Structure 1
Amino acid sequence: MIKVLGRASSINVRKVLWTCVELGLDIVHEPWGDPGLPLQSPAFLAHNPQGLVPVLVDGDTVLTESNTICRYLATRQDRHDLLPASPLQRAQVEQWMDWQATELNNAWRYAFMALVRRSPLHTDEAAIAASVQEWNRQMSLLDAALAHGGPYVTGAHFTVADVVLGLSAQRWHMAPIAHAELPHVLDYLRRLNERQGFQQHGNNGMP
């Protein structure tokens, strides 16, 4: 039995939960990080010494890092529609996943912590404005890719890259910021909302 450890309010946990829906996997979800299941407990730290979610437990296998877990699950189930076997096609999926984890995440982090999490450590107005500007700029790259290809980020077929990017696009769309006009991203979100996994784990606000 596969276990997914991590509170469902985490965007990274939702990546894994959505992927499990796409794969039709029967899993046990343990909401570590919710009250009563602290991430600093010895039981959780035995799985991930960093104290971060998600964690996947598959028999004797323990994995961390949400994008890695999504790729593992798709490969485990031989779902080459979600993660192609062809080296080039797989790389095209993975490059978008890596972009999400690096450039896009770094762009939104300060603004999100300030405007959504209300972090007292993120109150610099200039830094907030710069983060919003960069967030919109990075999202415009996704909009352009969807405009020239689509309907999904790598072309005609839905992949695990769309799980990762769909949640990121939803976060951008729901954030209390001045949004750039990105019609292809909004169409993308409407398309993703037709999928059960997005309805359950993606289109659920800002936590």
Structure 2
Amino acid sequence: MRKLWGRASSSNVMKVLWTLDELGLPYDRIDAGGAFGRTKDPEYRAMNPMGLVPTLQEEDGWSAWESNTICRYLCNEHAPDSPLYPQAPRARAAVETWMDWQLGHVTAPMVTIFFTHVRIPEPDRDWKAEGKAREDCGRLWKIVDSRLAGQRFLCGNDLTLADIALGCWVHRWHVLPIERPDLPNLAAYYETLKTRPGFVQHVALPLE
């Protein structure tokens, strides 16, 4: 049985869990990271030298790390015809653009907002940084809102890895106790994501 190492509350682990669910692939998840530890153990570092989560370990012992890479690998190796990761070069480039955009642009300010409201003790919260991050995210989510005009998902009417990469942050943006600009296409998109069982099971969870 393949193994997925990582705590369920990690946004990066959520991506892989949702992908595994969409592809119908069996797995065992092993708690690791945060309070669960294990990521500093030599055995874990042999699989993932960064000591972060997630790490995917196949039955033959081969392993992969970095969440977006794992999601692409799962499609390529186990479901090459899946619409989650289309083969046509331009369609695939569109998916990968949004996956890279998630890593390069939206994650950092969303982490600032999330940690400020959920994980940092109130006396230690930097509200100036939170305000700047919220302003940046409003601008970034407006780009997504425009992209979604007239279509269900980021790359058309089929769910792709682009949606899986962004899904956790879409959820957190809508449930964090913050002021948000009116972005109706993004709000409708969030409701669409909630029709996917994997999103509901692994992503749309209470914040912790």
Same topology, TM > 0.5: yes
Relative to structure 1, the CA distance from residue 107 to residue 45 in structure 2 (aligned partners, 3 Å threshold; closer, same or farther) is same
Deviations 1:100-132 (A, max 9, x none): 011111222322222221168963332221111
Which runs of 5 or more structure 1 residues have no equivalent in the other structure?
A: none
- Residue number in structure 1 paired with 2:177: 176
Could you tell me the TM-score, scaled by structure 1's length? 0.92
Q: C-alpha separation between the residues in 2 aligned to 1:81 and 1:166?
A: 17
Which runs of 5 or more structure 2 residues have no equivalent in the other structure?
A: none
- Residue number in structure 1 paired with 2:201: 200
- Residue number in structure 1 paired with 2:21: 21
Relative to structure 1, the CA distance from residue 38 to residue 157 in structure 2 (aligned partners, 3 Å threshold; closer, same or farther) is same
Alignment partner for residue 129 of structure 2, among 127, 130, 153? Answer: 127
Instruction: State the secondary structure of the residue aligned to 1:46.
Output: helix
Q: C-alpha separation between the residues in 2 aligned to 1:94 and 1:30?
A: 28
Matched, 1:115 2:100: no
Instruction: State the secondary structure of the residue aligned to 2:119.
Output: coil
Question: Could you tell me whether the CA contact under 8 Å between 1:40 and 1:51 is conserved in 2?
Answer: yes
Q: C-alpha separation between the residues in 2 aligned to 1:143 and 1:122?
A: 33
1:33 maps to a residue whose letter is G
**Identity score, percent:** 38
- Residue number in structure 2 paired with 1:191: 192
Deviations 1:77-111 (A, max 9, x none): 21331101111100000000100011111222322
Runs of 4+ in 1 over 6 A off after TM superposition: none
Instruction: State the secondary structure of the residue aligned to 2:64.
Output: strand
- Residue number in structure 1 paired with 2:162: 161
Deviations 1:2-51 (A, max 9, x none): 21110111110010001000000011111112655432222322211221
Q: Larger deviation: 8-17 or 166-175?
A: 166-175
Question: Could you tell me whether the CA contact under 8 Å between 1:107 and 1:138 is conserved in 2?
Answer: no
Relative to structure 1, the CA distance from residue 122 to residue 181 in structure 2 (aligned partners, 3 Å threshold; closer, same or farther) is farther
Relative to structure 1, the CA distance from residue 181 to residue 27 in structure 2 (aligned partners, 3 Å threshold; closer, same or farther) is same
Relative to structure 1, the CA distance from residue 106 to residue 37 in structure 2 (aligned partners, 3 Å threshold; closer, same or farther) is closer
Question: Could you tell me whether the CA contact under 8 Å between 1:6 and 1:30 is conserved in 2?
Answer: yes
Question: Could you tell me whether the CA contact under 8 Å between 2:110 and 2:169 is conserved in 1?
Answer: no
Q: Larger deviation: 35-44 or 153-162?
A: 35-44
Relative to structure 1, the CA distance from residue 108 to residue 36 in structure 2 (aligned partners, 3 Å threshold; closer, same or farther) is closer
Q: C-alpha separation between the residues in 2 aligned to 1:115 and 1:35?
A: 19
Q: C-alpha separation between the residues in 2 aligned to 1:69 and 1:18?
A: 12
Question: Could you tell me whether the CA contact under 8 Å between 2:114 and 2:172 is conserved in 1?
Answer: no
- Residue number in structure 2 paired with 1:139: 141
Relative to structure 1, the CA distance from residue 13 to residue 36 in structure 2 (aligned partners, 3 Å threshold; closer, same or farther) is closer
1:165 maps to a residue whose letter is L
